[in-house]
Amino acid sequence: MDERTAEAETTVPVPSFAQIFEQHTPFLWRALTNLGIPKHEVQDLCQEIMITVHRRLPSFDGMSLRGWLYGICVRVASDYRRSARVRREIVSESPPDEASSSDLVEFIDRGREVRLLLDALTQLDEPKRVAFVLFEIEELTLAEVSEAVGAPLQTVYSRIKAAREQMQRAFESRTSPYPKKGGAIEAR
Amino acid sequence: MKQDDGAWQLERLSAAEAPELCRAVDAAKQQLPNARELAALAASLPLQGLPLATSGASRRDLAAPTRSGRYWLVVGSAVFGAIVICVALVRLPVATSSTASSHVSGAPADPRRPAVGGSAMAVPGAPPTSVNRGALELTPSMPESAANDASAAAPGPSLAASGSAPEAAVVTNAAVPRPAASVARSLASPRTSQSPAGSAQGASLGAGTKVQPSEVELLRDARLALRSSPALALGLTEQHGALYPRGTMVQERELIAISALALLGRHAAVLSRAQRFEHDFPGSPYRKQIAQIAE
Q: Is residue B26 part of a domain?
A: no
Please indicate if any CB of chain A lies within 8 Å of the CB of B209.
no
* Residues contacting B115, CB < 8 A, separation 6+: B36, B135, B138, B139, B193
Question: pLDDT by residue (tens digit) across A33-45?
Answer: 999 898 888 999 9
**Averaged over A5-30, what is the pLDDT?**
78
- Give the separation between CA B84 and CA B189, rounded to whole angstroms: 27
Helices (H), A123-152: 126-132, 142-149
Whether B103 maps to a domain, the answer reads yes
The reply to whether B69 and B115 lie within a common domain is yes
Q: Select the more confidently predicted residue: A71 or B285.
A: A71
Report the distance separating Cα B72 and Cα B63, nearest Å.
15
Gyration radius of chain B's alpha carbons: 24
Q: Taking each helix axis as running N to C, give the angle between helix B19-29 and helix A17-34, from 0 to 180 degrees, rounded to the nearest 10.
A: 140
Distance from CA of B89 to the nearest CA of A (A): 33
Pick from A26, A167, A188: which is nearest to B21 by CB?
A167
Average pLDDT taken over every residue of chain B: 62
Decide if B10 is inside a domain: no
Query: pLDDT band at residue B144, thresholds of 50, 70 and 90?
Result: very low
DSSP, residue by residue, B253-292: HHHHHHHHHHHTT-HHHHHHHHHHHHHH-TT-TTHHHHHH
Q: What is the pLDDT of residue B191?
A: 40
**Enclosing domain of residue B67:** 44-50+63-137
Nearest CA in chain A to B37: A43
By Cβ distance, the residue of A58, A105, A160 closest to B289 is A105
* Chain B residues 231-270 with CB within 8 Å of chain A: 231, 259, 262-269
What pTM does this model have?
A: 0.47
What residues of B are in contact with residue A139 (Cβ under 8 Å)? 12
> Do B194 and B256 sit in the same domain of this protein?
yes
- Which of A23, A98, A161 to mutate to probe the B interface, most B CBs <10 Å? A98
Per-residue confidence band for B51, with pLDDT thresholds at 50, 70 and 90 = confident
Determine the pLDDT at residue A163: 96
Same domain, B73 and B174: no
Give the per-residue pLDDT at B49: 80
Position B244 in a domain? yes
Greater confidence (A146 vs B102) lies with: A146
Note the pLDDT of residue B121.
34
Identify which has the larger pLDDT, B217 or A179.
B217
pLDDT-based confidence at residue B87 (cuts at 50, 70, 90): low
CA B204 to chain A, closest CA, distance in angstroms equals 24
Cβ of B54 within 8 Å of Cβ of A18? The answer is yes
Minimum Cα–Cα distance from A147: chain B residue: B1
- Whether the Cβ atoms of residue B56 and residue A14 lie closer than 8 Å to each other: no
Residues B194 and B202 sit within 8 Å (Cβ to Cβ)? yes
User: Residue B282: inside a domain, yes or no?
Assistant: yes
Q: Residues B12, B18, B23, B29: is their CA dihedral positive or negative?
A: negative
Is there a contact between A117 and B57 if contact means CB atoms under 8 Å apart?
Answer: no
Q: Which one of B82, B103, B137 terminates a domain?
A: B137
Per-residue model confidence (pLDDT) at position B293: 84
Instruction: For residues B169 and B171, give the distance between their C-alpha atoms in angstroms, rounded to a whole number.
Output: 6
Whether B289 and B175 map to the same domain: the answer is: yes
Amino acid, res. B176: V
Domain ranges within chain A, ordered by starting residue: 8-173
- Is the dihedral angle over the CA atoms B67, B72, B77, B81 positive or is it negative? positive
Q: How far is B156 from chain A (nearest CA, A)?
A: 27
Which of B100, B120, B137 finishes a domain?
B137
Give the separation between CA A71 and CA A28, rounded to whole angstroms: 10
Q: Residue B13: inside a domain, yes or no?
A: no
Q: Nearest to residue A136, comparing CAs of B24, B5, B34, B3?
A: B24
Last residue of a domain, one of B137, B168, B191: B137
- Find, in chain A, the residue whose alpha carbon is nearest to that of B195: A40
Chain centroid offset of residue A182 CA: 37
Higher pLDDT, residue A82 or A10? A82
With contacts defined as CB-CB under 8 Å, which chain B residues touch A147?
Answer: none
Selection from A9-23, A40-54, B208-222 with the highest mean pLDDT: A40-54
Residue B157 lies in a domain: yes
On whether both B119 and B157 belong to a single domain, the answer is: no
Q: Which 8-state DSSP code applies to residue A14?
A: P
Tell me which amino acid residue B231 is: A
Per-residue model confidence as pLDDT tens digits over B162-182: 333 333 333 333 333 333 333
Is the separation of the CB atoms in B168 and B149 below 8 Å? yes
Residue B161's pLDDT is 36
B198 φ/ψ sector (left φ>0, alpha ψ -120 to 50, else beta): alpha
Share of chain A above pLDDT 70, in %: 71
Residues of A with Cβ-Cβ distance to B62 under 8 angstroms: 16-17, 54, 57-58
Q: Which residues of B touch A97 (CB under 8 A)?
A: 227-229
pLDDT value at position B122?
A: 34
Query: How many domains, in total, are found in chain B?
Result: 2
Contacting B residues, span 136-195, partner chain A, CB-CB under 8 Å: 140-144
Residues B222 and B288 in one domain: yes
Question: Residue A102 pLDDT > 90, yes or no?
Answer: no
Do residues A37 and A129 touch, judged by C-beta distance below 8 A? no
Rounded to whole angstroms, the Cα distance separating B295 from A26 reads 32
Are A21 and B12 an interchain contact pair (Cβ–Cβ within 8 Å)? Answer: no
Q: Which of A50, A97, A108 sits opposite B45 (nearest CB)?
A: A50
Q: Do B57 and A17 touch (CB under 8 A)?
A: yes
Q: Please indicate whether, in this complex, the C-beta atoms of B265 and A115 are within 8 angstroms of each other.
A: yes
> Does A98 contact B227 at a Cβ distance shorter than 8 Å?
yes
What pLDDT, on the 0 to 100 scale, is given for residue B77? 61
The three-class DSSP label of residue B236 is helix
Average pLDDT, chain A: 79
Contact B263 A95 (CB under 8 A): yes
The torsion region of residue A87 among left (phi > 0), alpha (psi -120 to 50) and beta comes to: alpha
pLDDT at B187: 35
User: What is the pLDDT at residue A161?
Assistant: 95
Q: What is the pLDDT of residue B262?
A: 87
Q: How far apart are CA B4 and CA B89, in angstroms?
A: 68
* Topology classification of domain A8-173: Butyryl-CoA Dehydrogenase, subunit A; domain 3 (1.20.140)
Q: Does B241 share its domain with B259?
A: yes
